[in-house]
Amino acid sequence: MIKVILIDDEPLARQIVKEYLATFKQIEIVAECGDGFEAVKAIQQHNPALIFLDIQMPKINGFETLELIEKKPAVIFTTAFDEYALKAFEQNAIDYLLKPFNQERFEKAINKFLDSPLEKGVRGIEGNESNQQIEQLESVSKKHTEEAHRVVVKNGTSILILPTTQIVYFEAYDDYVKIFNNETFYLKKKTMSYYEDVLDPTQFVRVHRSFILNLNYLTKIENLDKNNSQALLKNGVKIPLSRTGYSKLKETLNL
Amino acid sequence: MTIDKLPSRMQLLVALVAWFIIWWGLQCFVIFQIFNNLNFAFIDASISLALILIGISFIFFIQKYSPAYINNYGSRFICIGALIGGIVFSEKLILNELYYSSDFAEMFNKTLVIRIVVAFLQITFFSMILWSLYFIRSQEEKNKLNLDAENTLRQAELIKIRQQLQPHFLFNSLNSINALVVSEPQQARKMIQNLSDFLRGTLKKDENKNVPFSEEINLLKLYLEIERVRFGHRLTVNFNINDDTLNTKLPPLLLQPIVENAVKFGLYNVLENVEISVRAKLQNNLLVIAITNPFDEDASQTRKGEGFGLSLIQKRLQLTYHRTDLLTIERKNKIFTTIIIIPQA
C-alpha cells in the first residue's frame, strides 16, 4: 500500500481529494491534517510516500510545513494560488493542482507520482543540486508571499515561529545554519545563500562567508589591524568580518 | 535659460539684509543733506527702519493667521494706509521726544514727503511679496490635495477591482461546491446561490452612492455564510445589529474588506475556533460598527496587506466625511477589534 496524507484546512477540500483517491486501490490515506503542525507530526509518525499539501493554512503555510520535515515525501500541491507563485515551485513538486480541479486532472497528477523515481525507490529529494534548486524556487515564492519576516524552526518536538526581528545572526554549520536569537540557537537545514537571498537586505547583511548579521543588534565595528575587523553585537558576541563583508556592511550602513 | 534652482534661505536672508541696509543708508543720506547733522540722521533713519520692520511683521502675521481678512485690494490698501500713517506719526512722536525744539514741527514737515514715500514703498513692496507667496503656497497645497485625492481614488479603484475579483475566495468556494455536488447536492445548490448573490451584490455598486446599512449587512451575511461552508468546523459568526441602524446609510462595500480581513486573520493566525462578531448601534446620530476577530499576540505581526487595507478605508472615510477619527483599531485580550463610525446626515 502507498501511504498518503492529506493536508488542507478546508474539510471539503480534503473530501474531494479523498473522493478522487477512492479509485486508486493501492493508495491508503493514513491521516488528514487541518494545519501544518498536525501535518509535521503525522508525517513523522506515518512516513507517507506522498502528501497533498495546501499552501495557505493557519499559522504556518505549506512551504514552511515542508521545511520542517526532514525526510520529505513526494508532494502534490493543491491550491487556489495564482500562477505566479505556482511557477516558483513547479519543479519542486510532483505536480500542482489548481483548485477547483477535476478527476481527470487529478489522476494525471497521481500517475505522474506513480511513474516518478521517487515512488520507485529513490526516496527523498536529497541531492545537493536539486536542493539548491528548491531553495531558489522557495526563495522566489517566499518573496512573493511576503513571508521573509519570519523563520519557522523546530525545537525538539515543538515548532517555533521566529520573527526575523528577534534573530541576532546566522552562522553556517556544515550542511546546516545556526539561527541565533538572544537566548539560544536553532538548527535548520538550509544554506547561507538562501537566507542571504530571502531576508530583507536592509536589515540583514552577509558579513562573512559563514555569518549573516542583523543590523539592529550591531553596536560597534572594530578594526583589529589593516585586514582584520570584527563586529560587536549588543549581546557581546563578536563576529569576524571578511573584507567584502566589511565593505558590504559599510555600504548598507551608508558609511 | 530656465531657472532650475530656487535661491537658498541663506541667500534670501543676505539679500533682505542688504535691502534694508541700502534703504537705511539712503534715508541717512537724505536726512543728512537736509539737516546737516550726522548723529540725527543715523538715529532718525534707524527709528524709521525699526518702525517699518514692525509694520512689515504686522502684515506678515495678518497674512499668516487671518489671510481671508486681508486678501482683497480694498482692505489691503486700508491696512497699508493705516500702517504708513502710524509709522510716520510714531516717527514724529519719538523724534519729538528725543530732539525737542521750538521749530521741530516745521523741521519735521520738511521731510514728511520723503518719510511717507519711504514707508509707502517698503510696506507696499513687502505686502505684495507676502501676498504672492501666500497665493503660490495655497496653490501648491491645493495641487497636492488634488493629487492626494486622485491617488486615493485610484487606489480605491484598484481595491474595488481586487474586491470584485477575489480570485482566491472564488476558486476555493468553487472547490467546496465541487466537493458538495456529490456528497450534498442541496447544499451545493445553496452555495451556488449564495455565491451568485454575493458576487452580484459586489458588482453593481456605485462607489459614490451611499447604500442602506441593511443591504450591506445582507451582503456580509452572504459572504460569511459561504465562508462557513468552507470553514464551518472552525468558524462561528455572531451578528448583533440594533434595529434602528438598518435604515442608516454608508458607502458601499466599506465593511466587506474589514470582515474579509477579520476572517482571514482569524483563520490563519490561530489554530483554535474562530469567532467573528459584527455589532452595530446608532449613537448620537452616528452609526457605530465594531468587527472583531481573535488573533495571536505572539505570532501576529501586522502583515503588509492588512495595514494597507485599513489605511485605504481610512482614506476613503476621510475623503467622504473629511474626518480622520472614524476608523480605530483595538488589540485586547487576544481580540482584534475594528471600529468604524459613519456620521448620518
* pLDDT reading at A129 higher than 50: no
Nearest-Cα residue of chain A relative to residue B231: A10
Does A16 touch chain B if contact means CB atoms closer than 8 Å? yes
Q: Are A170 and A177 in contact (CB under 8 A)?
A: yes
Upper half-sphere CA count for residue B62 (Cβ side, 13 Å): 18
For residue B260, the Cα-to-chain-centroid distance in whole angstroms is 28
CA–CA distance, B26 with B16 (Å, rounded to integer) = 15
pLDDT value of position B158: 62
pLDDT value of position B157: 66
Ramachandran sector of residue B329 (left: φ over 0; alpha: ψ -120 to 50; beta: rest): beta
Looking at per-residue pLDDT, the higher value among A118 and A175 belongs to A175
**Which ranges of chain B have pLDDT less than 70?**
1-4, 155-166, 298-308
Partners of B167 on chain A (C-beta within 8 Å) are 80, 82
Nearest-Cα residue of chain B relative to residue A35: B271
Does A203 touch chain B if contact means CB atoms closer than 8 Å? no
pLDDT value of position A146: 47
Does A60 touch chain B if contact means CB atoms closer than 8 Å? no
* pLDDT reading at A132 higher than 70: no
pLDDT value of position A223: 87
Query: For residue A23, which phi and psi values (nearest 5 degrees)?
Result: -80, -15
pLDDT value of position A134: 55
User: Does B182 sit within 8 Å of A19, measured CB to CB?
Assistant: yes
* pLDDT reading at A3 higher than 90: yes
User: Does A37 sit within 8 Å of B183, measured CB to CB?
Assistant: no
CA–CA distance, B198 with B178 (Å, rounded to integer) = 18
What average pLDDT does this structure show over A97-118?
Answer: 89
User: Among candidates B257, B240, B155, which has minimal Cα distance to B202?
Assistant: B257
Q: Are B239 and B221 in contact (CB under 8 A)?
A: yes
Partners of A101 on chain B (C-beta within 8 Å) are 175
Partners of A149 on chain B (C-beta within 8 Å) are 301
User: Does B270 sit within 8 Å of A58, measured CB to CB?
Assistant: yes
Query: For residue A212, which phi and psi values (nearest 5 degrees)?
Result: -120, 135
Please list, in sequence order, all residues whose beta carbon lies within 8 angstroms of the beta carbon of residue A83, skipping any fewer than 6 positions away. none
CA–CA distance, B283 with B186 (Å, rounded to integer) = 42
Residue A29 has which C-alpha cell?
A: 490515506
User: Among candidates A203, A191, A4, which has minimal Cα distance to A109?
Assistant: A4
User: Does A19 sit within 8 Å of B175, measured CB to CB?
Assistant: no
Q: Are B270 and B293 in contact (CB under 8 A)?
A: no
What average pLDDT does this structure show over A202-215?
Answer: 92
* pLDDT reading at A124 higher than 90: no
Q: Across all residues in chain A, what is the average pLDDT? A: 84
Q: Are A35 and A57 in contact (CB under 8 A)?
A: yes
What average pLDDT does this structure show over A231-242?
Answer: 91
What is residue B323's DSSP assignment? -
A52-64 pLDDT per residue, tens:
999 888 888 888 8
Nearest to A16 among B178, B234, B268 (CB): B178
The ipTM is 0.72
pLDDT band at A12 (very low <50, low <70, confident <90, very high): very high
Does A160 touch chain B if contact means CB atoms closer than 8 Å? no
pLDDT value of position B68: 78
As separate numbers, helices (DSSP H) first and strands (DSSP E) second, chain B gives 11, 7
Nearest to B175 among A13, A35, A57 (CB): A13
pLDDT value of position A136: 55
Nearest to B167 among A13, A37, A82 (CB): A82
pLDDT value of position A14: 96
The percent of residues above 90 in pLDDT, for chain A, comes to: 43
> Taking an 8 Å Cβ-Cβ cutoff, which residues of chain B contact chain A?
167-168, 171-172, 174-180, 182-183, 229-234, 267-271, 296, 298-299, 301, 303-305
Partners of B269 on chain A (C-beta within 8 Å) are 58-59
CA–CA distance, A75 with A8 (Å, rounded to integer) = 13
For residue B242, the Cα-to-chain-centroid distance in whole angstroms is 33
CB B74: neighbour CB atoms within 10 A?
Answer: 8
pLDDT value of position A128: 44
Work out the burial of residue B7: count CB atoms within 10 Å of its CB; fewer than 13 is exposed, 13-18 middle, 19 or more buried: exposed
Grid cell 455565491 is found at B195
- For the entire predicted model, the pTM comes to 0.66
